Amino acid sequence: MIGVVDTSALIRLFIPDGPLPEGFDDFLRGVERSLNTALGPELLLAETANVVNKKRKSGELSKEESEQLLADLLSMPIRLFPHRPLLPRALELAGEHNLTVYDTLYLALAEDRGAVLYSADQRLLKAAAQLRVMP
């Protein structure tokens, strides 16, 4: 199985501020065994680093914890894709679903690669269901 991982799903592996997306645990076990492939737009790294920075600034993470968390995130076996080819479709999807282009980059990548989307964002999941890119 091929799955696109968004920031809300990825960060919950390390900072459990809510439930993991349905089936995400099993998907990741498959990634570990090379049965599944995890994908993400390059934006995933910047968004995730931004969440880590916010947690550090708020005092939820120490400097050392945030640095280790970022290192752990960067070591995740996720194939990253550039934004440029995804932007036209992401812009179209943003207008159709009243989402940000940032969010719809994940949808555009899932569509483009015939993948499913793993997210903890309910608005994004609603659009994913309409596009049939749900696990």
Instruction: Region of 59 please: left (phi>0), alpha (psi -120 to 50) or beta.
Output: left
Residue percentage of the chain with pLDDT more than 90? 94
Look at the domain 2-48+79-131 and name its fold. Rossmann fold (3.40.50)
The closest alpha carbon to 98, from 70, 130, 56, belongs to 130
- Please say if the pLDDT value at position 15 is more than 90: no
Q: Which amino acid belongs to residue 17?
A: D
Each residue's pLDDT tens digit, 47-96:
999 999 999 999 999 999 999 999 999 999 999 999 999 999 999 999 99
Helices 101-113 & 43-57 angle (0-180, nearest 10) = 140
